[in-house]
Amino acid sequence: MTEVHLTIPLPPEQIQLLHAGDIVYLTGRVFTARDKAHQLLLSLPDSKLPKELQSLPLYHCGPLVKKTDKHWTVISAGPTTSQRFESNEADVMARMHVSVIIGKGGMGPKTADALRTTPGVFLAYTGGAGVLAADQITRVVDVLWLKELGMADAVWVFEVKEFGPLVVGMDAYGSSLYAHL
Amino acid sequence: MTTQNITKGIIELIRTAETTLPRDVITALKDARHNETGIAKRQLDTILSAIDLGKKTRRPVCQDTGTQTFFIEAGCDSPFLGSIHECIHTAVRHAIDDVPLRPNAVNPLTRKNETDQTQSLLTYWTMIDGDTITIHALPKGSGSENMSRLRMLEPWEGFDGIIDEVLEAVFAAGGRPCPPILVGVGIGGDAITALRLGKESLLRPVGTRHPDPRVATLENDLITKLNDTGIGPMGLGGKTTVLDVHVKTASCHPASLPVGIIIQCWAHRHATMTLSADGTWEVR
């Protein structure tokens, strides 16, 4: 089990060094997207796509946050089930220049192909460990479409520090720890 | 005044369920960690750290604070029969800000968030003798609930048919419901009852077997077979796919064999409140 501590953004050559089964800790910015955000990111015209999200890791997460005096506190923010995004993740990855997906439970063949061509990786955060993930989020940088989509489905930009342990569940070479499923 | 105090008790019930895990679940997770190596062990280490942190900081362990689900055993002679329904609703409304809970109620068709977030709470009532009301809170996330299923088997399919169904459901779920999971299997009744029995069976302590030896054997068989799938913690492979399997049965029509399979994530959050006739309550 190789363990690496990486800073976002991850250049392609760094992604190509990662193999299924490796442990990764990430530091930098990530953005969240669940069901509604995936649809929105695919329906917006190019000119309306938020530039600040481009090339950041996409985190499958519907966080629990609380606002106190104009200040957001992340209470619990673990991963949501990634398979729900299998049908359109490859398109979102291409549109938003995403090469790192963070989620849980693994994804299907369409995403596996996109990870091979990008190159990209699927990193698994331990599901249910939301309170631990929240403590590795050091700052809420921004929130998009909060009113339209609601707390869980809005797009949150988080600053994370030593976010993990993340397991490389699927790598850029087509290897997957979920192959036994 | 008394109803305010009862509402306070139910908020405490929800907070306890959301922020702490029952001791039997923690014991099962620790046993699992002991048996695992490598990535599987790492997953269980992370899980146990999260449980500790949730308890220490009184924050919900998982961001999916679930659908607020209550099983209520209502004593016919309790003086609070008329007010308990309202108390539960008021408590959930307060808990959303207090605990806090994630707004999880949407209209099923428009998918828009409901203005009143208590609209999705679920209550399952059983009338019992006596003057005590027992409320079990079982907030349940959708990652695991989405993997639940109902099958109306042919009666001749029997034990083998039930085992096949459960194996198929767990295998199809794979890493999605946050394994190691708990599986509640309701057998008998009608379609509604089978699923309800499955969910109710999750309230039984982890590691305990059904009193009927034939059913206990079925549970043991299922545990062995499900762990042999190798799905493992978070679907990343390993020896532990289930923490336990509970079966609950009810008599049924001779032409039916309903099987309700409820999948529950490792974060098996639940707590119980007992409300006595004098208005005092206890949460455990």
What is the ipTM metric for this complex?
Answer: 0.95
CB contact under 8 A, B265 and A127: yes
Q: What is the CATH number of the domain that holds B6?
A: 3.30.360
- Chain B stretch 181-220, residues whose beta carbon is closer than 8 A to a beta carbon of chain A: none
Q: Is residue B219 included in any domain, yes or no?
A: yes
Is the CB of residue B178 less than 8 Å away from at least one CB of chain A?
yes
Q: Report the alpha-carbon distance of residue B248 to residue B189 in Å, rounded.
A: 10
Measured between beta carbons, the chain A residues lying within 8 angstroms of B178 are 104-105, 127-128
Q: Are residues B196 and B127 in the same domain?
A: no
Q: Which residues pair with B229 in a beta bridge?
A: none
Q: Are residues B122 and B182 in the same domain?
A: no
Nearest Cα residue in chain B from A136? B50
Q: Is residue A179 included in any domain, yes or no?
A: no
pLDDT of residue A43: 97
Nearest Cα residue in chain B from A130? B62
Measured between beta carbons, the chain A residues lying within 8 angstroms of B101 are 64
Q: Spell out, as residue ranges, where chain A has pLDDT lower than 50.
A: none
The number of residues in chain A equals: 181
The number of residues in chain B equals: 284
Q: What is the pLDDT of residues B31-61, one digit of tens each?
A: 999 999 999 999 999 999 999 999 999 999 9
Q: Are residues B152 and B109 in the same domain?
A: no
Measured between beta carbons, the chain B residues lying within 8 angstroms of A178 are 174-175, 235-236
Q: Is residue A145 included in any domain, yes or no?
A: yes
Say if CB A85 and CB A38 are below 8 A apart.
yes
Q: Are residues B9 and B135 in the same domain?
A: yes
Q: Is residue B108 included in any domain, yes or no?
A: yes
Phi, psi of B22 (to 5 degrees): -60, 150
Query: If you ran DSSP here, which 8-state letter would residue B266 be given?
Result: S
**What's the gap in Å between the CA of B27 and the closest CA on chain A?**
17
CB contact under 8 A, A78 and B65: no
Q: Is residue B122 included in any domain, yes or no?
A: yes
Query: How many domains does chain B divide into?
Result: 2
pLDDT of residue B39: 97
Say if CB A115 and CB A12 are below 8 A apart.
no
**What's the gap in Å between the CA of A106 and the closest CA on chain B?**
7
In the three-class reduction of DSSP (H, G, I as helix; E, B as strand; rest coil), residue B41 is classed as helix
Is residue A38 flagged as an active site residue? yes
Q: Is residue A132 included in any domain, yes or no?
A: yes
Q: What is the pLDDT of residues A90-139, one digit of tens each?
A: 999 999 999 999 999 999 999 999 999 999 999 999 999 999 999 999 99
CB contact under 8 A, A128 and B47: yes
Q: Are residues B243 and B177 in the same domain?
A: yes
Q: Is residue A181 included in any domain, yes or no?
A: no
Mean pLDDT of the residues in chain B: 97
Measured between beta carbons, the chain B residues lying within 8 angstroms of A61 are 63
Q: Is residue A142 included in any domain, yes or no?
A: yes
Q: Spell out, as residue ranges, where chain B has pLDDT lower than 50.
A: none
pLDDT of residue B1: 65
Q: Is residue B37 included in any domain, yes or no?
A: no
Q: Are residues B125 and B163 in the same domain?
A: no
Nearest Cα residue in chain A from B47? A129
**Total H helices, total E strands in chain A:** 6, 9
Question: Considering only CA atoms, which of B44, B265, B35 is closest in space to residue B139?
Answer: B265
Phi, psi of A97 (to 5 degrees): 55, 45
Query: What is the domain extent for residue B258?
Result: 142-264
Q: Report the alpha-carbon distance of residue A86 to residue A98 in Å, rounded.
A: 15
Q: Is residue B186 included in any domain, yes or no?
A: yes
Q: Are residues B159 and B70 in the same domain?
A: no
In the three-class reduction of DSSP (H, G, I as helix; E, B as strand; rest coil), residue A67 is classed as strand
Query: How many domains does chain A divide into?
Result: 1
| A107-112 contacts at long range (C-beta below 8 A, 24 or more positions apart) | A107/A82, A107/A83, A107/A170, A108/A83, A110/A86, A111/A85, A111/A86, A111/A170, A112/A170, A112/A174, A112/A176
Q: Are residues B68 and B165 in the same domain?
A: no
Cis status of the peptide bond prior to B139, with omega within 30 of 0? no
Q: Is residue B30 included in any domain, yes or no?
A: no
Q: Where are the alpha helices (DSSP H) in chain B?
A: 2-19, 23-35, 38-57, 84-98, 142-145, 158-173, 191-200, 213-227
In the three-class reduction of DSSP (H, G, I as helix; E, B as strand; rest coil), residue A9 is classed as coil
Q: Is residue A180 included in any domain, yes or no?
A: no
With a pLDDT cut of 70, the percent of chain B lying above it is: 100
CB contact under 8 A, A152 and B104: yes
Q: Is residue B160 included in any domain, yes or no?
A: yes
Q: Are residues B91 and B108 in the same domain?
A: yes
pLDDT of residue A91: 98
In the three-class reduction of DSSP (H, G, I as helix; E, B as strand; rest coil), residue A59 is classed as strand
> Of A38, A60, A97, A180, which one is the catalytic site residue?
A38
pLDDT of residue B140: 97
Q: Is residue B69 included in any domain, yes or no?
A: yes
Query: What is the domain extent for residue A48?
Result: 3-170
Q: Which of B38, B42, B174 sits opposite A178 (nearest CB)?
A: B174
Q: Are residues B112 and B149 in the same domain?
A: no
**What's the gap in Å between the CA of B67 and the closest CA on chain A?**
14
**What's the gap in Å between the CA of B79 and the closest CA on chain A?**
37
Is the CB of residue B110 less than 8 Å away from at least one CB of chain A?
no
CB contact under 8 A, B236 and A178: yes
Rounded to two decimals, the pTM is 0.96
Q: What is the CATH number of the domain that holds A115?
A: 3.20.130.10
Nearest Cα residue in chain B from A178? B236
